Amino acid sequence: MKVDITVPPVGESVTEATVAQIIKQSGEVVQKDDEILELETDKVNQVVHAPESGLLTLSVSVDQKVGIGEILGSIDTDKASSEQPASKQKQQDKKPPEKTDIATSSPQKDTSSGSKARISEEEALKQLNKPQIEPTKPQASAPSTNKATSSNQPKIPSSEGQKRKRMSGLRKTIAQRLVEVKNQTAMLTTFNEVDMTKVMQIRTKQKDAFEKKHGVKLGFLSFFVTACSAALEAFPDVNAFIDGDEIVYNEHHNIGIAVSTDKGLMVPTLRGCEGLSFAEIESTIGGYAQKAREGKISIDDLQGGTFTITNGGVFGSLLSTPILNPPQSAILGMHKIQKRPIVVDDKIEIRPMMYLALSYDHRIIDGKEAVGFLVHIKESLEDPSRLLLEF
């Protein structure tokens, strides 16, 4: 019996996809749930798995455009036990494990290997908080100056020692959205530094008992999420966004956690952080990390964020200016913890310090509010007992 392989739905507004990679070749015997090929859209990369075991026949090629529901090939289940042809030997070169970096237990670099995560950075830039707007195609007679990837721009002649690779639809969308953020917001960044001494002392003292009780490790990120939630309560404009000529205020603190993978950047969302315990925060983050390693992050996991935290410290960054995740109005950048001499009670001491950066949309958030928000986070982390009280 032959079983058809079809293009699965990959999002409400997605009507077509491009065959980005063929993982299994026609003529190979595959097992049920084996990865067959990878599809690429302007929103997400998705792998198509074998619906049954049998002899694979594909009717598509790399770079071919296909519609949702279109037949990609078939599997002959009557030949499930057939000997695999010699052509499979060409597929035996294994790729090195890919990495997933997420700010879970330490701002230092913490990577995990596993299956490819197939949600890209474009998802972090196209949160589905509001209706999607499809990018306008540039007219041939009037090249757009606002798009980073206009087809009307003249190509630079190739020189010796260069090679070219087709830019994926995802990368094109990323380039366009990054330029749109710069052009459509009045983005500024304010900086501060936080003494991590007390947070590190609490974590060192309680991490074993915490893990034994809750089954998850106590990381730094749960402190930051809780501190940000308290600051969002005190400064509601930071948890709002502009829609036309209106300001939309979010009642809940849905904090996105930027996760970097070899495939790209994604921002899964912790919903209702104002009511989450440390254990719930760590458990949810751990679940997202597992999904990222297995390539199972869904669009539902990525939508609905009202504020974002990103941790450049996992890569060793000491200071940076994070870019906004539209339509959100602010994003907090964490960085590497580094021991530095500071003045404490008129004495010079060596303390573990971290620079914090808050990028914000100045159209909705004034400088006073931005600085106040960042100072609120700093004070909560330097005196964690404040998180137990209402300030």
Is there a single domain that holds both residue 225 and residue 333? yes
Edge-to-edge strands, sheet with 54-58: 2-6, 71-76, 54-58, 29-30
pLDDT of residue 325: 86
- Is residue 381 in some structural domain? yes
CA dist., res. 153 & res. 126, Å (int): 25
**175-182 — which CB contacts under 8 Å span 24+ positions?**
175/147, 175/148, 175/149, 176/135, 176/147, 176/148, 176/149, 177/122, 177/125, 177/126, 177/326, 178/125, 178/148, 178/323, 179/146, 179/147, 179/148, 180/146, 180/326, 181/125, 181/323, 181/324, 181/326, 182/323
* Token duo for residue 389: 């009280």
For residue 191, tell me if it sits in a domain: yes
Residue 206 has, within 13 A of its CA and on its CB side, a CA count of 15
pLDDT, residue 368, reads 96
Residues 221 and 354 in one domain: yes
198 and 295, same structural domain? yes
Q: Name the region of 153 (left: φ>0; alpha: ψ -120 to 50; beta: rest).
A: beta
- Residue 130 pLDDT > 70, yes or no? no
Please tell me the predicted confidence (pLDDT) of residue 108.
43
Chain centroid to CA 12: 20
Which of 87, 112, 143 is the endpoint of a domain?
A: 87
In percent, the amount of the chain with pLDDT more than 70 equals 75
214 counts as catalytic: no
Domain of residue 18, CATH code: 2.40.50.100
> In sequence order, which ranges of the chain are alpha helices (DSSP H)?
121-125, 169-184, 197-214, 221-234, 278-294, 299-302, 367-382
Tens of pLDDT, residues 323-368: 998 889 999 999 999 999 999 999 999 999 999 999 999 999 999 9
pLDDT score of 388: 79
CATH at 292: 3.30.559.10
Q: Residue 101 — very low, low, confident or very high, per pLDDT cuts 50/70/90?
A: low
72 lies in a domain? yes
pLDDT of the residue at 153: 61
Say whether both 183 and 79 belong to one domain.
Answer: no
Residue ending a domain, choose from 67, 87, 107: 87
> What's the pLDDT tens digit per position in 234-282?
999 999 999 999 999 999 999 999 877 666 677 889 999 999 999 999 9
Indicate whether 99 belongs to any domain: no
DSSP letters spanning 80-144: TTSPPPGGGGGG--PPPPEEEE--SS-SS--EEEESPP---HHHHHS-TTS---PPPPPBTTB--
142 in a structural domain: no
Q: In terms of domains, do 60 and 192 share one?
A: no
Q: Are 115 and 297 in contact (CB under 8 A)?
A: no
Domain end among 87, 104, 123: 87
* Whether residue 179 is found in the same domain as residue 80: no
- Burial letters 177-189, b for 16+ CB under 10 A, else e: beebbeeebebee
DSSP code of 245? T
In terms of domains, do 50 and 181 share one?
no
Q: Is residue 125 assigned to a domain? A: no
Same-domain status, 82 and 196 = no
**Rounded distance, CA 258 to CA 255, Å?**
10
User: How much is the pLDDT for 61?
Assistant: 87
Residue 182 belongs to a domain = yes
Report pLDDT for 354: 97
Residues 227 and 353 in one domain: yes
Is the same domain home to 198 and 81? Answer: no
CA–CA separation, 60 vs 72, rounded Å?
Answer: 6
Rg of the chain's alpha carbons, rounded to an integer? 24
* pLDDT, position 152: 53
What does each C-alpha distance from 203 to 35, 218, 221, 223 come to in angstroms?
41, 7, 11, 10
- The answer to whether residue 33 is catalytic is no
Report the pLDDT averaged over residues 277-289: 91
In this prediction, residues 301-308 reach a mean pLDDT of 90
- Give the span between the Cα atoms of 142 and 151, in whole angstroms: 11
What is the rounded (10 degree) CA torsion for 147, 332, 215, 260? 30
Is 370 or 106 the better-scoring residue by pLDDT?
Answer: 370
Are 253 and 364 in the same domain? yes
Least confident of 25-29, 81-85, 101-105, 151-155: 101-105
Give residue 371's domain range: 174-388
Looking at 33, 78, 300, 366, which residue is catalytic? 366
40 pLDDT higher than 80: no
Residue 51 CA to residue 54 CA, distance in Å, equals: 10
What is the pLDDT of the chain when averaged over all its residues?
80
Query: How many domains is the chain partitioned into structurally?
Result: 2
* Residues 149-197: tens digit of each pLDDT: 444 566 777 778 888 877 766 567 667 777 888 888 999 999 999 999 9
Dihedral (Cα; 55, 58, 62, 68), 10-degree rounding:
-120
Same domain as 178, residue 83: no
Residue 150 domain flag: no
Out of 4, 208, 243, 362, the active site residue is: 362
Which comes out higher in pLDDT, residue 86 or 301? 301
The per-residue pLDDT for range 184-208, each reduced to its tens digit, is 899 999 999 999 999 999 999 999 9
